[in-house]
A and B are shown apart, each in its own frame.
Chain A
Amino acid sequence: MDKTEKAIITEEEKEILLEIMNISFGKAAADLAEFIDIYIELSIPYIHVLEPRALSGYLKKEIKDNLDCSIVEQKYWGKFKGDALLVFSAISSRELLSLLDTEKDWGYCSDPIDVLEKESLMEVGNILIGACVGKIAEMLNDIVTYTPPKVIIETQPLDSFFNFQVEEDSSIILLRTAFKFKSTDISGFLFLITSNESVEWLKSALSEFMERS
């Protein structure tokens, strides 16, 4: 834990937030498993506190095969406010499409495949991000609204994408969880980048959550 992390979030608050993230992504995975017949292997989430200028470098390092990935982005806002990024490898998006609709032979429609892949990513992203962020907000007594999901396919350089509008003297709380769809090549990460505006509210909401529990 670096100096910024110590100043912005205590060890106890971090542990509470990790447990909330764990519960919320578990709920999101279950919601998706109702929609498509898969099992999502969950992992232990992590929290990082970063200065805004370090965010782009951090994300690029985390997404090691960043020249070959697809990202679903959705912003959310309530008292809990930020940016959700669901990152899939390019292989994942193709396999995801076959999971969503195995009846059709996509090989006969070469041109629209990119569109279909994009739609399948948006659908899965919408479910995972919506259920996860929604559950976090619910557990912290908040309600959030979302922008429509946006898909960024691998052709766009990540540098141009990681351009968040944040104040330079602020800090970002970043929640990260990795996932893998069992018996497939589909894997990825979910990043929740919590806005600096939410930090004070978040600290008090975490304390209230523990008092209620």
Chain B
Amino acid sequence: MKKILIVDDSRVSRIMLKKCIGNSDKYEFCEAENGQVGLEKYRDFRPDVVFLDLTMPVMGGREFLKEIKKENVDAKIVVCTADVQRKALDEVFSLGAFTVVKKPPAKGCVLDALSKLDQINK
């Protein structure tokens, strides 16, 4: 079973993302409402992939991404954001994001990201 951590302050956004991923037999989910809680949960849960929002209270997604990459350079982070400005996307890729899914998440894009992760893990 693949472990997925969703770090997003919006409960609605987390629900939408889980609906897109579907198949509860195949995935185990863990959720966090900001980057700081996300870091703690990452260390406990050891997810295969993190879906990460950028604009959050307490600790935002960029800071989370930097911290996680320091701890585990191979961490697989899919940024799921409403900030679709080119400079924001360039920045998260430079910080080591695996890919970006624009909000609202489309099922096809989310599953495509997971499928690409499966391929590189083979």
Q: Which residue of A is nearest B20, CB measured?
A: A213
Dominant secondary structure at the A interface: helix
Among A27, A30, A44, A139, point to the contact of B9 (Cβ < 8 A). A44
B84 touching A27 by the CB < 8 A rule? yes
Contact of A139 with B104 at beta-carbon distance under 8 Å, contacts A29-B85, A39-B88 already known:
yes
Q: A39-B85, A213-B16 are in contact. Are A23 and B55 (CB under 8 A)?
A: no
Q: Which of A27, A39, A210 contacts B87 (CB 8 A)?
A: A39
Contact partner of B10 (CB less than 8 A), chosen from A15, A24, A25, A34, is A15
How many angstroms from the CA of A25 to the CA of B86 in the assembled complex? 15
Task: Let me know if B103 and A23 touch, CB within 8 A.
Answer: yes
Roughly how many angstroms separate A34 CA and B13 CA in the complex, as a whole number?
A: 26
CB distance from B75 to the nearest CB of A (A): 24
The number of A-B residue pairs with CB atoms under 8 Å apart is 59
Residue in chain A with minimal CB distance to B104:
A23
List the B side residues contacting A72 at CB < 8 Å.
none
Q: Which residues of B contact A210 (CB under 8 A)?
A: 12, 15-16
Question: Is A18 interfacial (CB-CB < 8 Å)?
Answer: yes
Chain A residues near B2 (CB-CB < 8 A): none
CB proximity to A under 8 Å, residues B33-67: 55-57
CA of A144 to CA of B95, assembled, Å: 39
B19 is an interface residue with CB less than 8 A from chain A: yes
Judging by beta carbons under 8 Å apart, are A42 and B13 in contact? no
- Chain B 6-29 per-residue mask, 1 if CB under 8 angstroms from chain A, else 0: 000111110110010000000000
Q: How distant is the Cα of A19 from the Cα of B83 in the complex, in angstroms?
A: 12
A residues 157-213 touching B (CB-CB < 8 Å): 210, 213
Kindly state whether residue B82 has any CB partner on chain A within 8 Å: yes
Residues in B with CB closer than 8 Å to A26 are 81-85, 103
Once the chains are docked, how many angstroms separate the CA of A24 from the CA of B88?
A: 16
Q: Give, as a whole number of angstroms, the nearest-CB distance from A17 to chain B.
A: 9
Whether B16 lies near A22 (C-beta < 8 A) is no
Question: Known contacts being A15-B11, A16-B12, A44-B9, is A22 close to B87, with CB within 8 Å?
Answer: no
Chain A residue numbers with a CB within 8 Å of B82 are: 22-27, 42
Residues of chain A having any CB pair with chain B under 8 Å: 15-16, 18-19, 22-27, 29-30, 33-34, 39-40, 42-44, 139, 210, 213
19 more A-B contacts (CB under 8 A) besides A40-B85, A210-B15, A213-B104?
A: A15-B11, A16-B12, A18-B10, A19-B103, A19-B104, A26-B82, A26-B83, A27-B82, A27-B84, A30-B84, A30-B85, A33-B87, A34-B86, A42-B82, A42-B83, A139-B104, A213-B15, A213-B16, A213-B19
Which B residues have a C-beta under 8 Å from some C-beta of A? Answer: 9-13, 15-16, 19, 55-57, 81-88, 103-104
